[in-house]
């Protein structure tokens, strides 16, 4: 069984698109859990209208942990609200491959919801980097990755003291705990709204510095990179 956990903060514009794309999947999840960080818009109302279970969330690590705690599926798919499952066989193909390869944690290639050349180049470069790093320096972007619930529980979930690159820290802790990591063939379209809001050069620099910090200094436990949850400037 598959449980989907979506973390949200004021996502009334994007959440319906994602939930509709989940409904179109050839293999339906057992449940959809929306872990909400006190949204002030219609996010929770929309989630319930789609039949999703709503739980009280928080910052990304907190929200994902709380959603995972309620999950009943053997596999959990963590998603952000601004992605979309355009491939109607996304869940079927990804879960089947994960099972066939006996993976504990699985990620996929990303592609931008943008036709801009720079966005295509940046996302292809990211995919290449993740493949080169492989399980030696695994990356599990929080906006979309699969994990077995047993593996999630074995490493005690996300470290809620990590405030930036908490998803990649999670993946590396999982691999150190002998969990198997792999990249499945499915692709996930991702929003470029943060790139457009903060600027591509700024985001690239933040991610680069965060990566170097994680590799050489360890997890980022203070918000030196000023990374915010949610994409609105007042979030």
**Pick from 170, 184, 182, 190: nearest CA to 123:** 190
Domain total for the chain?
1
Is residue 107 within 8 Å of 143, Cβ to Cβ?
no
Structural domain span for residue 136: 2-217
The answer to whether residue 172 is domain-embedded is: yes
pLDDT per residue, tens digit, the chain (235 aa), is 999 999 999 999 999 999 999 999 999 999 999 999 999 999 999 999 999 999 999 999 999 999 999 999 999 999 999 999 999 999 999 999 999 999 999 999 999 999 999 999 999 999 999 999 999 999 999 999 999 999 999 999 999 999 999 999 999 999 999 999 999 999 999 999 999 999 999 999 999 999 999 999 999 999 898 888 876 644 4
Q: What is the pTM of this model?
A: 0.96
The answer to whether residue 224 is domain-embedded is: no
The answer to whether residue 225 is domain-embedded is: no
CATH number of the domain enclosing 22: 3.90.550.10
């Amino acid at each position: 069984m598959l449980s989907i956990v979506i973390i949200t903060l004021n996502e009334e514009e994007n959440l319906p698109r994602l939930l509709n794309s989940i409904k179109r999947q050839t293999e339906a999840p057992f449940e959809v859990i929306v872990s909400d960080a006190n949204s002030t818009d219609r996010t929770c109302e929309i989630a319930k209208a789609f039949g999703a279970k709503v739980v009280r969330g928080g910052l990304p690590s907190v929200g994902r942990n709380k959603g995972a705690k309620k999950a009943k599926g053997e596999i959990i798919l963590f998603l952000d609200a601004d992605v979309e499952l355009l491939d109607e066989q996304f869940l079927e193909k990804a879960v089947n491959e994960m099972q066939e390869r006996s993976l504990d944690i699985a990620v996929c290639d990303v592609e931008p919801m943008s036709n801009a050349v720079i966005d295509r180049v940046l996302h292809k470069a990211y995919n290449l980097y993740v493949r080169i790093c492989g399980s030696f320096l695994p990356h599990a972007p929080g906006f979309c990755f699969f994990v077995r619930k047993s593996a999630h529980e074995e490493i005690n979930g996300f470290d809620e003291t990590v405030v930036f690159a908490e998803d990649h820290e999670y993946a590396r802790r999982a691999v150190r705990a002998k969990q198997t990591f792999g990249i499945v063939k499915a692709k996930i379209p991702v929003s470029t709204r943060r790139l457009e809001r903060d600027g591509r050069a700024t985001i690239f620099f933040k991610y680069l510095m965060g990566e170097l910090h994680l590799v050489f200094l360890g997890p980022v436990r203070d918000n030196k990179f000023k990374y915010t949850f949610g994409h609105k400037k007042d979030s």
